[in-house]
Homo-oligomer: A and B are copies of this chain.
Amino acid sequence: MKKNSNNTNNNMKQNILICATKLIAKNGIKNTSLADIAKDVNISKGTLYYHYSSKDDIICDIADSHLHIVNKAVLNCVQNMKTENPHDDTVKFIMQKISTIESTGRVHMYLICEAITGNDTLRERIKVKYIDWRQTLKTEILNSLEDSVENSDALSFLLISIIDGLVVQSLLKTEKIPFENISSFLVKNWF
């Protein structure tokens, strides 16, 4: 059957994707060579090129996968905002994003840096997702908080910024971030 073949194929691509993501999360995009990835997957560079036509191709797949993960987190978060009281949601929201940072967060930053360093295809992809996320957040804020349009606009921009900003501080390992403190402040003053 074709299916088996396809499965093998997909498994290999999946393997490559996982290893590449791992290595890039660790060392950054430019410091991860295709030789590194191939070695980690235990295949030859030639095989790597059989499955991916270029390094950019791999990065795009990583970006897709990453954005998909983040997207699920955002939707999940919005879902919570709908059904429960805002306090716990926000806490959970922030915590969730931040606690999974060490790997996801690094990939996030590397992709952003890659995107703004001339990789316009990548930037466009990320950009679309950011706009999507903000709109989703804004809509939900409008519905659940019955706030003004101006406020929901500002709030949606701010929430996304806060996430990215906290990711930065977390990766720089500046100070222990007082998540509970922050989230309770947010709930008290914003919602």
Known: A161-B161, A164-B164. A134 touches B174 (CB 8 A): yes
Q: Which of A14-22, A57-65, A73-81, A152-160 contacts the other chain? A: A152-160
Pair A161/B168 contact, Cβ less than 8 Å:
yes
Chain B, residue nearest A171 (CB)? B116
Known: A30-B30, A161-B162. A185 touches B154 (CB 8 A): yes
Pair B164/A185 contact, Cβ less than 8 Å:
no
Q: Which residues of B contact A126 (CB under 8 A)?
A: 172
Pair A113/B118 contact, Cβ less than 8 Å:
no
Q: Does A3 contact B (CB under 8 A)?
A: no
Pair B185/A155 contact, Cβ less than 8 Å:
yes
Majority DSSP secondary structure for residues of A touching B: helix
Cβ of A172 to closest chain B Cβ, rounded Å: 5
Using an 8 Å CB-CB cutoff, how does the interface string of A161-182 with B read, 1 for contact, 0 for none? Answer: 1111110110111110110011
Pair B118/A109 contact, Cβ less than 8 Å:
no
The number of times this chain is found in the oligomer is 4
Q: When chains A and B are docked, how far (Å) is the Cα of A106 from the Cα of B117?
A: 9
How many residues of A are in contact with the other chain, CB < 8 A? 49
Q: Does A144 contact B (CB under 8 A)?
A: no
Q: When chains A and B are docked, how far (Å) is the Cα of A47 from the Cα of B40?
A: 22
Complex A-B: 16 CB contacts under 8 Å: A28-B113, A28-B116, A28-B117, A31-B117, A109-B112, A127-B173, A134-B175, A150-B181, A153-B181, A157-B177, A161-B165, A161-B166, A162-B162, A164-B165, A164-B168, A164-B169
